[in-house]
Chains A and B, each alone.
Chain A
Amino acid sequence: EPEVTQTPSHQVTQMGQEVILRCVPISNHLYFYWYRQILGQKVEFLVSFYNNEISEKSEIFDDQFSVERPDGSNFTLKIRSTKLEDSAMYFCASSEDSASNQPQHFGDGTRLSIL
């Protein structure tokens, strides 16, 4: 079964550095998402992306964050000037369309640790 893949599985970065989290969505999917889960807490929506544009973003997704689809297969989340509180698990997801009858398929996550 096709799956969403995320790399790296664990990223350790010094505070203040920039980090790029990478995702390869399922190939025929058109909608892409990033979610964040701080340790022990719930999964929170960050941003959705369609047709090379952000379609929706949450309050968390401020100017420190950006997303990009640099080629036909990758979908990246960039975090600039990382802070300690950015430490979390970041999940990428994709779906065939935005109609909610398609479950969002999640990658296995990237654990980001900011030191």
Chain B
Amino acid sequence: AQKVTQAQTEISVVEKEDVTLDCVYETRDTTYYLFWYKQPPSGELVFLIRRNSFDEQNEISGRYSWNFQKSTSSFNFTITASQVVDSAVYFCALMTDKLIFGTGTRLQVFP
């Protein structure tokens, strides 16, 4: 069965704090892709990153970084020096033949 678990329902931080959003996935496929999407209060889905199952290199993009660990089936997302504009729901997703989303983590960043 394919499944994505985001155990953190809601996280609240104060601006400038670092925050890590957890994502654990399950799949029997050897080839798969992992995504993170951001859903701001306006409702649209904003693509942040994709990772394929053969590439375990971590990635950094500005204040965002991703830690992919195949051994633990995790694809965690860290925001460094969080800002109020980072407040949104963040979805982790797994793609084999279709895109399967986790339940999302609501991040609230307070000034």
Contact = CB atoms under 8 A, between A and B. Distances in A.
Interface stretch (B12-20, B66-74, B93-101): B93-101
B35 A103 contact: yes
Contact of A91 (B31, B45, B52, B104): B45
Interface residues of B, number: 24
Interface in B3-46: 31-33, 35, 37, 42-45
Main SS of the interface on chain A? strand
Interface residues of A, number: 23
A49 to B, nearest CB: 12
Contacts, number: 53
A101 B52 contact: yes
B98 A56 contact: yes
Interface in B64-111: 91, 93, 95-104
A30 to B, nearest CB: 16
Contacts of A106: 37, 44-45, 47
A44 interface: yes
B45 A100 contact: no
